[in-house]
Structure 1
Amino acid sequence: MRLTTHIDPGLTQAGSASATVRALEISIAADRALVAEVRHSVRAALESWGVGAIADDMAVVASELASNALKHAGGEATVRLRLAEGQALLEVDDSSLRRPVSRRVGAEVEEGRGLFLVQALAADWGWRYRQGGGKTVWASLPAPAECAA
């Protein structure tokens, strides 16, 4: 299967007996058409977890990071979304060692603004190399206070 989704709504966060972690993991093949499925899955998960207020912004962030991973790494990518302790964290793993770089593009260029969107929408974002190769690009958004993750 080219797109797999796994939701664990009742994981317990390490070191905490009471904090619940909700998680979604999506593995996508090197097909940029699957980015729409990632966007839809992230939005649906956040809405089902009671944090629909951030669903649209996080869906855009997921779309941009997944699209960048598939475009620049040229292989499969894994998208992980976690909701815990009032924070939504999205991580995208790919096989590339190239660090993500925001670049300036002219008004006539149709792409190249993904990281600017991520910077504008996310409370924080960054990247790190993964042990064994590749990198993880991540972004976080605070969940609404009324959410009981």
Structure 2
Amino acid sequence: MHLTTHTDPGLTQAGSSSAAVRALEISIASDKALVAEVRRSVRATLASWGASEIADDMAVVASELASNALRHAGGEATLRLQLAEGRALLEVNDGSAQWPVPRRVGAEAEEGRGLLLVQALAAEWGWRPRERGGKTVWASLPAPAGCEA
């Protein structure tokens, strides 16, 4: 298992010299057992940033997007969590060009609801292709009142 976490508490928003950004970056090896650690790291990081109010929802979103990246893209994925300008933004990069599509599953299905959970919990979500191949799937939540980067 390999999980690398890097936190940058004092970054500035691109194009701005004054807007502070808090960021957590996690490299996830192709081991689905690491998804639980991703969930814990996202929850703990948001709590340490004063955003406990959204920590549980964002942890579920992170878990689902990381699971999808490892399941469908194979290989490694990178998760980046940022708190800036009144919102928490979570991005998961993977090597697959296949875009995410929420699917309908039967009541008895044991999997296949991840993107439906993301849709239900996130204020916004989407995806974009990466210049060097692969894609970024992202989701955002409003930061709690009084929570600043």
Amino acid at match of 2:13: Q
Distance, in Å, in 2 between the alignment partners of 1:102 and 1:86 is: 27
List alignment gaps of at least 5 residues for structure 1: none
TM-score by length of 1: 0.97
Aligned to 2:128: 128
Distance, in Å, in 1 between the alignment partners of 2:47 and 2:112 is: 29
Distance, in Å, in 2 between the alignment partners of 1:72 and 1:146 is: 38
Distance, in Å, in 2 between the alignment partners of 1:133 and 1:14 is: 22
1:74-113 equivalences under 5 Å are 74-113=74-113
Distance, in Å, in 2 between the alignment partners of 1:6 and 1:133 is: 23
Amino acid at match of 2:133: G
Alignment partner of 1:58: what SS? Answer: helix
Runs of 4+ off more than 4 Å: none
TM-score by length of 2: 0.97
1:37 Cα shift?
0.7
Amino acid at match of 2:6: H
Count how many residue pairs are aligned between Structure 1 and Structure 2: 149
Distance, in Å, in 2 between the alignment partners of 1:127 and 1:148 is: 26
Aligned to 1:69: 69
Matched, 1:137 2:137: yes
1:146 Cα shift?
1.3
1:8-23 equivalences under 5 Å are 8-23=8-23
The RMSD of aligned alpha carbons is 1.0
Distance, in Å, in 2 between the alignment partners of 1:14 and 1:70 is: 29
1:39 Cα shift?
0.5
1:105 Cα shift?
0.5
Aligned to 1:118: 118
Aligned to 1:45: 45
Please list the CA deviations of residues 59-79 of structure 1 after superposition, one character each: whole Å capped at 9, or x if unmatched: 000000000000000110000
1:15 Cα shift?
2.9
1:18 Cα shift?
2.6
1:20 Cα shift?
1.1
Please list the CA deviations of residues 101-143 of structure 1 after superposition, one character each: whole Å capped at 9, or x if unmatched: 1110011111000000000000000001101110000000000
